[in-house]
Amino acid sequence: MRTVTRGALWVTFLAYLAVIVQLVVLKEMDAQSAVTNIFERERPSEWTTNNFTLFETIRLYWNDSRIPWTVRLSNLAGNVIGFLPFGVLFPLLFRTKPYLLITVIFGFLFSLGLELAQWFMAVGSFDVDDLLLNTLGVLLGYVGFRIINWLLPIRTYVYQQNKR
How high is the pLDDT of residue 41?
54
Contact 52, 128 (CB under 8 A): yes
Average pLDDT for residues 121-131, to the nearest whole number?
89
How high is the pLDDT of residue 34?
59
**What is the chain's Cα-based Rg?**
18
How high is the pLDDT of residue 97?
78
How high is the pLDDT of residue 164?
46
What is the pTM for the complete model shown? Answer: 0.84
CA neighbours closer than 13 Å in the CB half-sphere of residue 64 = 13
Counting residues of the chain whose pLDDT is more than 70, the rounded percentage is 82
Terminus-to-terminus CA distance in the chain, angstroms? Answer: 13
DSSP state of 46: G
Please report the DSSP string for 104-117 in residue order: HHHHHHHHHHHHHH
From CA 63, how far away is CA 127, in angstroms rounded? 18
pLDDT of 12 > 50? The answer is yes
Contact 117, 48 (CB under 8 A): no
User: 63-106: per-residue pLDDT in tens?
Assistant: 998 999 999 898 899 999 999 999 999 999 988 778 999 999 99
Q: What is the dihedral of CA 15, 17, 22, 24, to 10 degrees?
A: 150
How high is the pLDDT of residue 107?
98
Q: Where are the alpha helices (DSSP H) in 1-55?
A: 2-24, 31-40
3-state secondary structure of 141: helix
Taking Cα atoms as reference points, which of 90, 113, 106, 71 lies closest to residue 16? 90
pLDDT of 39 > 60? The answer is no
List the beta bridge partners of residue 127: 51
Q: Which residues contact 120 (CB under 8 A, 6 or more apart)?
A: 38
Average pLDDT for residues 2-20, to the nearest whole number?
89
Q: What is the mean pLDDT of the chain?
A: 85
